[in-house]
A and B are shown apart, each in its own frame.
Chain A
Amino acid sequence: MSEPATPDAASPEEGDDEGRTDRAEQPEQTDEEAAAAREDAATRAPGSGANAVVAALEAAGVETAFGVQGGAIMPVYDALSESSVHHITMAHEQGAVHAADAYGIVRGDPGVCMATSGPGATNLVTGIADASMDSDAMLALTGQVPSDMVGSDAFQETDTVGVTAPITKHNYFASDSDEVGRTVGEAFALANTGRPGPTLVDLPKDVSFGETDRPVGEPTAPERAVPDEEADEAQVEAAARAIETAERPLCLFGGGVIKGDATEQVRAFAREFGIPVVTTMPGIGSFPEDDDLCLSWAGMHGTGYANMAITHTDCLIAVGTRFDDRLTGGVDTFAPEAEVVHVDIDPAEISKNVHADYPVVGDAATVLDQLDAAIGYGDAPDTEAWREQCAEWREEYPMDYAIDPDEPVKPQFVVEAFDAATDDDAYVTTGVGQHQMWAAQYWTYREPRTFVSSHGLGTMGYGLPAAVGARVAADDDREVICFEGDGSFLMTIQELSVAVRENLDITVVVLNNEYIGMVRQWQDAFFEGNHMASEYDWMPEFDTLAEAFGAKGFRIDEYDDVEAVVEEALAYDGPSVVDAHIDPEENVYPMVASGAANGQFALAEDQL
């Protein structure tokens, strides 16, 4: 390991305790001052469409936006220079959209990203689709060629509204400078209303340049889009009776529990009635994984005990999940004996993939309170034998790995070492692949919003830009650890330049096996070991590359390196990259094969 010269960007003049330079420049606002600033933005005459766009962001309380400059979005950037909204220039639009996504996940408010027309907008597409699949609130603003050139295949023109229609909650083509501010406000509010999701406003250059003195007003979602939070009383009663009579009830908490800020309610509910809990992968953190009731997460690479519980429950209380195929395996074999109680704010999720015997449409927190009140204390199910059964499964199928000090380091060991060295409130972001599964399996999550990952879309390269967004959103005293694979990291590695420029205290841990490991694992299992295009023995030295970016580089080659590197990397105030050379043959287990039954999880390749 070389000792790098400390780059200038990594040593802010204010001193180490000041943290990141961007924060140091911005004086803290009191709540009253912030409210007054929002009020001012909502009521002042903006002057131009671009100013109205920015005023709408300010009126919505947006503090940070992520983006990349370009021709058609230039008027908005020009207006942004006078704004209280802090803009973070990313290396690539995909970085901007993932950073905004993660920022929104951590903050619980929509993240904002910006790009120009054409390639700028299309570079956002992956991240918008990602946010859409995971129901993440986000606002994307894209520049567009002037209105009179729309449709002419002008330079850097793309039908952004058309391209993003299927992957946004709703999108808008701004056609009027007087309306554009209100439209941006509506898009922001809509993103965060009911079931969250990404929204987009396409901004033609002439609309941004156009004059307007119409105040933008408060950001308001269309009335129709605001769902009832409270569930129908008859639905709640029916679900309550089903839960009371269950012998093997099981809670399944999805990402909607976290989006709906319902963790307090779901925890109280499960504990009050002694109902074991499994989560989905997006639901990680909704229930503390070290709680006796918690069986961790179910699905393709979930724990054996979670999948056994799902397979044998007679009453599945599913909250805020869309029953993704990575959770259910084949729906024909999913929870085959269970009556399903499905709580969701989005009625279209009810019986979409798995039939709900007891649909309960409403806000997760509100509905759980309603359910709690509807279940008579004397009528609560007796779950003792069932809990014992779940505990037995936990004993039978331990999450474990074997260590040989002379062999390459196991990735699980690296994950556990970082978990042990950080607080419960540390944020973990990941790319997509084997490393993501190990980071989900071997890190013990206890708090919501601490696991930031690409679930539904499975976007490789998500981890680093997400870490940038999470770092900017998070309080300074909380750690941000990014687990990446070698292949995944290389897809968005350019965002390291942003982390260095902003001096963001992020620890990137590359679980480097010189493979697209998950593909390699499947090739071994299903393609007779033909490693077509999955061998990445051409990877750069990530620790050295980190130094070239101006970050700090570390390397792990053997078990003896781990403790010191973990300590030094976490202590370093700025971006660091740990190139952890792990056992290249290690695979992710348990594994439910695509479309198979959850209870048929394989513990090793020969069981697939």
Chain B
Amino acid sequence: MSGEDDDATNAAADGGTDHPADSPIAEHARPAGGDAPETGLAGPTPEERPHPSGRRDEHGVRKEPDDGGEATRRATVSALVEDEPGVLARAAGLFRRRQFNIESLTVGPTTVEGHSRITLVVEETEAGIDQAKKQLAKLTPVIAVGELSDDAVAAELVLLKVRGHEPDKVHAITSMYDGETLDAGPRTITVQITGDENLIDDAIDAFDQFGIIEIARTGQTALERGDSPTTPGEEPGHSAGSTDDDEFTNYDD
């Protein structure tokens, strides 16, 4: 700000020179003593104000001097939901709208009638994963949300269609990955491989030599090991054939 306008009362004649010609800025009387700019309010300018030294990162976390920064990680999130129309669209829409980086999303029924399980793999910062879980939990049809531990059981299914010129070799690799041949013809062979994500990736690499024509992957689905519930407080349902209650006695609460 300039110091020339301390007495702004009669400064109209030389005011407004900083502004476009079609935007004349009128000068207005201001009580004496104010260090008034041409227009606006009185008071010390930004440079004259004290500034704190602290800082936050883009997630609003106050930075420590040795702060490592913005590492992302992959998380597998399992949501138990009411099986009602639109619930998948709500979850997917939420993730799109809030720009969460979603790797895969699977959904299917559980042993409890009227409940489904959505399994999501997201790659986000720690704050992003936390937020994704909380936003998901907020959806009305969502019953519970859990993040799976690293040693959870996770699996994916892939269908691979490859060139059928070398059926023996294809069969050998299919066997190596405990896969199954679903369709074999003179020109193409279609196999199914099931396993965790790394195994699927390896299998795809191995089949690549034959020329992969088409791939369909389901995305990961996962459950916690042993007696640990996959989502907090999850009550196990009993499928029609299961009467062995002892297996679930540790699920109380």
Taking Cβ atoms with an 8 Å cutoff, the residues of A that contact B are: 161-162, 165-166, 169-170, 173, 190, 222, 224-225, 304, 308, 311-312, 323, 328, 331-334, 336-337, 339, 346-348, 350-355, 357, 396-404, 407, 410, 524, 528-529, 531, 583, 585-587, 589-590, 599-607
- Decide yes or no whether B187 CB sits under 8 A from chain A: no
- Which positions 176-231 of chain B face chain A at CB distance < 8 Å? none
- Decide yes or no whether B38 CB sits under 8 A from chain A: yes
- Decide yes or no whether B58 CB sits under 8 A from chain A: yes
Task: With A170-B140, A353-B60 given, name 6 new contacts (CB 8 A).
Answer: A346-B138, A352-B131, A400-B41, A402-B31, A529-B20, A603-B42
Decide: A524 and B59 in contact? CB cutoff 8 A: no
- The interface residues of chain A lying within 8 Å CB-to-CB of B134 are 347-348, 350
Decide: B1 and A607 in contact? CB cutoff 8 A: yes
Q: Which of A336, A347, A583, A589 contacts B56 (CB 8 A)?
A: A336
- The interface residues of chain B lying within 8 Å CB-to-CB of A404 are 26, 28-29
Decide: B86 and A348 in contact? CB cutoff 8 A: no
Q: Which of A225, A323, A328, A350 contacts B140 (CB 8 A)?
A: A225
How many Å from the CB of B204 to the closest CB on chain A?
A: 35
Decide: A224 and B143 in contact? CB cutoff 8 A: yes
- The interface residues of chain A lying within 8 Å CB-to-CB of B37 are 603-604, 606-607
A605 to B34, CA, bound (A): 17
- Decide yes or no whether B109 CB sits under 8 A from chain A: no
The residue of chain A having its C-beta at the shortest distance from the C-beta of B60 within the complex is A354
Decide: A337 and B23 in contact? CB cutoff 8 A: no
- Closest CB pairs A-B (n = 9): A604-B40, A354-B60, A336-B54, A402-B28, A604-B37, A348-B134, A529-B20, A355-B61, A170-B140
How many Å from the CB of B11 to the closest CB on chain A?
A: 12
- The interface residues of chain B lying within 8 Å CB-to-CB of A354 are 56, 60
- The interface residues of chain B lying within 8 Å CB-to-CB of A334 are 56, 60
The residue of chain A having its C-beta at the shortest distance from the C-beta of B131 within the complex is A352
Could you pull out 30 A-B pairs where Cβ atoms are within 8 angstroms?
A: A162-B86, A166-B94, A170-B139, A190-B140, A224-B140, A224-B143, A308-B49, A333-B56, A334-B60, A336-B55, A337-B52, A348-B134, A348-B135, A348-B138, A350-B134, A351-B59, A353-B60, A355-B56, A399-B41, A400-B31, A402-B31, A403-B28, A524-B19, A529-B20, A585-B23, A589-B39, A599-B51, A600-B49, A603-B45, A607-B45
- The interface residues of chain B lying within 8 Å CB-to-CB of A590 are 40-41
- Decide yes or no whether B115 CB sits under 8 A from chain A: no
How many Å from the CB of B135 to the closest CB on chain A?
A: 5
Decide: B52 and A312 in contact? CB cutoff 8 A: yes
Taking Cβ atoms with an 8 Å cutoff, the residues of B that contact A are: 1, 8, 18-20, 22-26, 28-31, 34, 36-46, 49-62, 85-86, 89-90, 93-94, 97, 127, 130-131, 134-135, 137-140, 143
A397 to B8, CA, bound (A): 18
A357 to B56, CA, bound (A): 12
Q: Which of A170, A351, A400, A605 contacts B42 (CB 8 A)?
A: A400
Best-surrounded residue of B30, B31, B42 (most CB of chain A within 10 A): B42
How many Å from the CB of A62 to the closest CB on chain B?
A: 21
The residue of chain A having its C-beta at the shortest distance from the C-beta of B22 within the complex is A529
Decide: B23 and A529 in contact? CB cutoff 8 A: yes
- The interface residues of chain B lying within 8 Å CB-to-CB of A333 are 55-56
Q: Which of A225, A410, A583, A603 contacts B40 (CB 8 A)?
A: A603
Q: Which of A332, A337, A399, A599 contacts B58 (CB 8 A)?
A: A332
Give the interface SS of chain B, mostly helix, strand, loop or mixed: loop
Decide: A169 and B140 in contact? CB cutoff 8 A: yes
Decide: B40 and A605 in contact? CB cutoff 8 A: yes
Decide: A606 and B38 in contact? CB cutoff 8 A: yes
How many Å from the CB of A328 to the closest CB on chain B?
A: 8
How many Å from the CB of B132 to the closest CB on chain A?
A: 10
Best-surrounded residue of B37, B89, B93 (most CB of chain A within 10 A): B37
Decide: B56 and A331 in contact? CB cutoff 8 A: yes
The residue of chain A having its C-beta at the shortest distance from the C-beta of B49 within the complex is A599
Decide: B140 and A165 in contact? CB cutoff 8 A: no
A398 to B43, CA, bound (A): 7
Given A355-B127, A400-B42, A600-B46, residue A166 in contact with residue B93 (CB < 8 A)? yes
The residue of chain A having its C-beta at the shortest distance from the C-beta of B8 within the complex is A402
A568 to B26, CA, bound (A): 31
The residue of chain B having its C-beta at the shortest distance from the C-beta of A304 within the complex is B43
The residue of chain B having its C-beta at the shortest distance from the C-beta of A190 within the complex is B140
Best-surrounded residue of A334, A348, A403, A410 (most CB of chain B within 10 A): A348
How many Å from the CB of A589 to the closest CB on chain B?
A: 4
The residue of chain A having its C-beta at the shortest distance from the C-beta of B44 within the complex is A396
How many Å from the CB of A174 to the closest CB on chain B?
A: 12
- The interface residues of chain B lying within 8 Å CB-to-CB of A602 are 40, 46
Decide: A528 and B20 in contact? CB cutoff 8 A: yes
Q: Which of A346, A352, A589 contacts B41 (CB 8 A)?
A: A589
The residue of chain A having its C-beta at the shortest distance from the C-beta of B54 within the complex is A336
A601 to B28, CA, bound (A): 21
The residue of chain A having its C-beta at the shortest distance from the C-beta of B56 within the complex is A332
- The interface residues of chain B lying within 8 Å CB-to-CB of A586 are 39
How many Å from the CB of A242 to the closest CB on chain B?
A: 13
How many Å from the CB of A249 to the closest CB on chain B?
A: 15
How many Å from the CB of B118 to the closest CB on chain A?
A: 16
A583 to B50, CA, bound (A): 34
Decide: B41 and A604 in contact? CB cutoff 8 A: yes
Q: Which of A308, A348, A397 contacts B131 (CB 8 A)?
A: A348
Decide: A337 and B54 in contact? CB cutoff 8 A: yes
Given A336-B52, A399-B41, A599-B51, residue A351 in contact with residue B131 (CB < 8 A)? yes
Best-surrounded residue of B34, B42, B56, B58 (most CB of chain A within 10 A): B56
- The interface residues of chain B lying within 8 Å CB-to-CB of A161 are 86
- The interface residues of chain A lying within 8 Å CB-to-CB of B34 are 400
- The interface residues of chain B lying within 8 Å CB-to-CB of A399 are 41
The residue of chain B having its C-beta at the shortest distance from the C-beta of A336 within the complex is B54
- The interface residues of chain A lying within 8 Å CB-to-CB of B56 are 331-334, 336, 354-355
- The interface residues of chain B lying within 8 Å CB-to-CB of A403 are 28-29
Decide: A606 and B1 in contact? CB cutoff 8 A: yes
The residue of chain A having its C-beta at the shortest distance from the C-beta of B144 within the complex is A224
How many Å from the CB of B229 to the closest CB on chain A?
A: 17
- The interface residues of chain A lying within 8 Å CB-to-CB of B60 are 323, 328, 331-332, 334, 351, 353-355
- The interface residues of chain B lying within 8 Å CB-to-CB of A607 are 1, 37, 40, 45-46
- The interface residues of chain A lying within 8 Å CB-to-CB of B22 are 529, 531
A357 to B59, CA, bound (A): 13
- The interface residues of chain A lying within 8 Å CB-to-CB of B61 are 355
- The interface residues of chain B lying within 8 Å CB-to-CB of A190 are 140
- The interface residues of chain B lying within 8 Å CB-to-CB of A585 are 23-26, 39
- The interface residues of chain B lying within 8 Å CB-to-CB of A165 are 86, 89-90, 93
- The interface residues of chain A lying within 8 Å CB-to-CB of B39 are 585-587, 589, 604-605
Decide: A398 and B42 in contact? CB cutoff 8 A: yes
- The interface residues of chain A lying within 8 Å CB-to-CB of B23 are 524, 529, 531, 585
- The interface residues of chain B lying within 8 Å CB-to-CB of A398 are 41-43
- The interface residues of chain A lying within 8 Å CB-to-CB of B43 are 304, 396-398, 603
- The interface residues of chain B lying within 8 Å CB-to-CB of A410 are 28
- The interface residues of chain B lying within 8 Å CB-to-CB of A308 are 49
Given A308-B49, A323-B60, residue A332 in contact with residue B29 (CB < 8 A)? no
How many Å from the CB of B61 to the closest CB on chain A?
A: 4
A19 to B38, CA, bound (A): 48
A403 to B30, CA, bound (A): 7
A563 to B31, CA, bound (A): 23
Decide: B46 and A311 in contact? CB cutoff 8 A: no
A118 to B130, CA, bound (A): 37
